[in-house]
Structures are given as C-alpha cells and as structure tokens.
C-alpha cells in the first residue's frame, strides 16, 4: 500500500508513504505485571506526534495511552518526552538528561522532521543508533516506531530511510513498528482514507486518530513491559 505525499515546510514534515507496514510485535500479550510486578515508567522520546501538537490537554498520544493502560489494569506510566519540531539529532542531544533513574523502558518516534529538512538517511541512522546505544548501555528496552520517506526524494533515498528503522531495531534488539501513521489504519491505500482522523493540516492526527493509534500501540507497550526483567 502506498501513500504519496509531497513534503512542504510546515510544522512537521511527516507526510509520508505508508507502504508495506509490518508489525514485528504481533505476539500474544498479557496484562503488564504478570512478568514485572513493580510499577513501570516508560519515557516516550519523540516530536510533535508524541507531544500532542494541536490537541487539547488530555487528547494527545501520551495522555490517551496512559488512560488506555490504566483501563487494562497495567501499573505503567508513560512520560511525555515529545518536543514539536524535534529532529533525531535533537532527541539524541537531550536523551542523557531526560532518562531519569525511574525510567524502565523507552518509546522512540523520531525522523519526520529529518525528512522535512531533507537530511540524508545516514544522518538519521547515526542519530537513532546513538539513541539505541544509550538505551542499551542503560539496559532499557526500546519500542522503535518508524517513519517512511515520500517518493519525491527518489527511490534510493526512500529505500535507505525506510530501512534504517527495521535494520537498527534488529541490530539492537529493539521492538519495532513500521510506521506511526499505520497505527491509525494499516489497511489504508490512499491518504483520503484517513483524512477523518487527521487535523486540518493533514499531518497531525486529531483526537480520534490518536485514539486509533493508541488502540494499536497499547498492546505493543504491554509486550514491551512483559520483556522487562
């Protein structure tokens, strides 16, 4: 399935293709706590998609995800580490002081603004690798949520960018989701099919879109927690 977008200099450059979305986490899960009895804190490192750009308090990704987890009876708290407009370099630069002692695991959703700036995939790869290396040193499990490049950068660019996420996830043992936007509707073949779940800018999900993303993401968080020692 292919979403074709042309990037323009707007608040967030994540108009991207949703193609060949694969979830590597489609395993049965149990309520968090079956394998990890203590309260769990997860740090969500990201950009405007994580921060909840354009949404009222309580309707962004992290608040809705925390509500979903509480409804499952999971003793899990997700901390909002989203900064609108942040690149992978920005995420890496603030990671060390963001990972406070209570953090047990991470969600990483970065790369859309790298696409906006036309950064080379090798630059994004190096930054994401730096984030995963820091997590590995601290023995923090990671759920890496990918982005996909639009076709207007050319096939070589797209292939290099799209592949950096699954390749790094495999290299560092991170759990991986192919595309954030695929969380909203993995079966969509045209951007118009998810327009009702997007804000007027066509870039950021509205509250209903975030709710759909959370319903897909939540079980993956429980799997992440179950892998804690």
Find the length of the chain. 229
Whose tokens are 């990704």? That residue is: 61
The runs of H, that is alpha helices, within 99-195 are 112-116, 121-137, 155-172
C-alpha count within 13 angstroms, C-beta hemisphere, residue 102: 9
Q: Does the annotation count 195 as an active-site position?
A: no
- Of residues 47, 86, 176, 204, which has the active-site annotation? 204
Active site residue 185: no
227 in active site: no
**Taking the mean position of all CA atoms in its chain, how far away is CA 205?**
13
- Residue 35 in 3-state DSSP? coil
Please identify which of the residues 30, 122, 190, 201 carries the catalytic annotation.
Answer: 201
| Active-site pick, 47, 48, 176, 185 | 48
Vertex 138, ends 78 and 70: CA angle to 5°? 15
Give the alpha-carbon dihedral of 205, 19, 122, 89, to 10 degrees.
10
Taking the C-alpha atoms of 42, 46, 50 and 56 in order, what is their torsion angle to the nearest 10 degrees? Answer: 110
**Residues forming the active site:** 48, 201, 204
């Amino acid at each position: 399935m292919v979403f074709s977008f042309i990037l323009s200099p707007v608040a967030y450059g994540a108009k991207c293709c949703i193609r060949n979305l694969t979830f590597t986490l489609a395993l049965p899960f149990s309520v968090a706590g079956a394998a990890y009895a203590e309260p769990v804190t997860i740090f969500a490192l990201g950009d405007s998609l994580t921060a909840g750009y354009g949404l009222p308090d309580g309707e962004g990704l992290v608040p809705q995800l925390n509500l979903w987890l509480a409804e499952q009876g999971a003793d899990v708290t997700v901390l909002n580490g989203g900064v609108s407009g942040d690149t992978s370099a920005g995420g890496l630069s603030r990671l060390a002081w963001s990972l406070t002692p209570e953090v047990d695991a991470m969600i990483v959703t970065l790369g859309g603004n790298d696409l906006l700036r036309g950064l080379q995939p090798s630059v994004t790869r190096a930054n994401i690798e730096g984030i995963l290396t820091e997590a590995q040193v601290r023995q923090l499990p990671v759920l890496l949520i990918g982005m996909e490049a639009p076709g207007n950068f050319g096939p070589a660019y797209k292939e290099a960018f799209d592949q950096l996420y699954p390749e790094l996830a495999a290299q560092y043992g991170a759990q991986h989701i192919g595309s954030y936007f695929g969380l909203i509707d993995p079966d969509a073949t045209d951007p118009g099919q998810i327009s009702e779940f997007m804000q007027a800018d066509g870039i950021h999900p509205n509250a209903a879109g975030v709710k759909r993303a959370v319903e897909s993401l939540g079980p993956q968080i429980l799997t992440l927690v179950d892998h804690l020692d």
